[in-house]
Amino acid sequence: MKQATVVTIGVDIKDIPKVSDKDFSITMNAYFNVKWRDPRLLVSKDYSKEGEPDPDDPSDPSNPSLTAINLHILKSLWLPDVEILNLKSFETHSVLSKLEGIWIDSNLEVMYALATRITFICPMRFNSFPMDIQVCKFQVGSFNYDMSKMSFRNEFVPDETSIKSILDYQITFNPLKDSDTHYMAIGMNYSATGFELVLTRKMSFYVVTYYLPSGLFVIVSWISFLVNPEIIPGRMTLLVTIFLVLINIHNTIQTNSPKAEGLTAIECWVIACIIFVFGALLEYTVILLKLKIRKLKNHHNNFNGSNKNCSTKMMRSSNRADKFTQTDLIFLCVFPVLFLIFNIFYWTAVFWKRSLSDPLDRSILD
């Protein structure tokens, strides 16, 4: 039985300039290398020229020798029908001519290399944004030949130290799982090789820009509980201003955040902050309503010619003011406790979900 042709794929990544959250794609600049053995080739074994390696010397590190071949031979060579799964675009770089080369060694091994810019699709989920971890698979296989005729191998896994662009993610590379080294299509089983990219979003920007300010605005809103309820402009201005600023932050996040199936983690945080400030505003609204009702009652009593003692009126007014102060103090104690409980649940849920998305943590749990 004829053995399957083994095709070795090497993707030497030089940089990843773009990770698009909008169209779910990753762009990388790389040398795309394909190696295979073609026993039908006839290669001269005359290595007697000075400076060339001796094929009979196994200690020679350059043996077997690679010989650069004129690119015109490509029209006469058999080339594997390589397919990149979920490919969006494949561009070859050119200077004076296309940056490509082909080499053949004495063992009839052929290596074909291209300088490329590859963009491929990666299904992404952003419900945990900005604490999300995206796991993307770069897979290469054959378009026509199933694994009984063509088998793919990986030459190496790329090194993340080659990534130099300033991205929103920390990128690491892992080998493909065994289940990802083959796939079914049109009723046939195809071989595949490649690697796995793990994109861990950097959180520091979002913590400093959104989480910290919105959390501090909630804490500042508690100062309103210490302001005399009868000083309406000062207390109302503080709460309304904070409320509107949080609404503006929420709108900015919605504009700049990637689209998710539901609310993202950062949207849940800002909405919770808005609810806490709205709660303080609602509490003050209730106090103002009671003050308004009290003034209406006093005005009604004065209109009916009430002759109650002045000191008694002042005492009742003082008792009511004390009740409003007590209400503010109760909310001053309750709101920080509720906000602390919310923070515990929120950050626990976020980091637990983040750990589930991390393939390294999943492998440890398994």
- Across the chain, which has 366 residues, the per-10-residue mean pLDDT values are 87 92 93 93 57 44 66 87 95 91 90 96 92 94 93 92 79 94 90 95 93 97 89 89 96 91 93 96 90 75 54 52 78 95 95 80 46
Structure tokens at 65: 């020798």
What is d(CA 21, CA 25) in angstroms, rounded to the nearest whole number?
7
Residue 41 DSSP SS3? coil
| Cβ count near 257 (within 10 Å) | 18
Structure tokens at 232: 């309406």
Say what the pLDDT of residue 262 is: 86
- List Cα–Cα distances, 32 to 154, 158, 200, 359, in angstroms: 12, 12, 25, 26
Say what the pLDDT of residue 52 is: 46
Give the number of C-alpha atoms closer than 13 A to the C-alpha of residue 247, restricted to the C-beta side: 7
Q: Amino acid identity of 333?
A: C
Short-list 277, 129, 284, CA closest to 216: 277
Q: Which of 331-360 are b and which e, b meaning 16 or more Cβ less than 10 Å from the residue's Cβ?
A: beeebeeebeebeeeeeeebeeebeebeee
CATH of 205-365, one of 3.90.226.10, 1.20.58.390, 1.10.10.350, 3.40.50.620: 1.20.58.390
Q: Give this prediction's pTM.
A: 0.80
Say what the pLDDT of residue 293 is: 83
Q: At what angle do helices 265-303 and 212-221 cross, to 10 degrees?
A: 20
Angle at CA of residue 142, ends 138 and 144, nearest 5° = 145
Short-list 98, 89, 87, 86, CA closest to 117: 89
Say what the pLDDT of residue 107 is: 86
| Cβ count near 90 (within 10 Å) | 13
For the chain, give every domain's residue range: 5-201, 205-365
The 3-state DSSP composition of the chain as helix, strand, coil percent (nearest 5) reads 40, 30, 30
Say what the pLDDT of residue 230 is: 81
Residues 6 or more apart from 80 whose CB is under 8 A from it?
5, 7, 34, 36, 142, 150
Which is the CATH superfamily of the domain at 5-201?
Neurotransmitter-gated ion-channel ligand-binding domain (2.70.170.10)
Q: Which of 6-15 are b and which e, b meaning 16 or more Cβ less than 10 Å from the residue's Cβ?
A: ebbbbbbbee
Equal CATH topology for 5-201 and 205-365 = no
Give backbone dihedrals phi and psi of 296, rounded to 5 degrees, phi first: -65, -40
Q: Amino acid identity of 335?
A: F
Residues 6 or more apart from 103 whose CB is under 8 A from it?
66, 67, 68, 69, 110, 111, 113
8-state DSSP, 123: -
What is d(CA 197, CA 214) in angstroms, rounded to the nearest whole number?
33
Contact predicate 221/189, CB 8 Å: no
Largest CA distance in the chain: 128
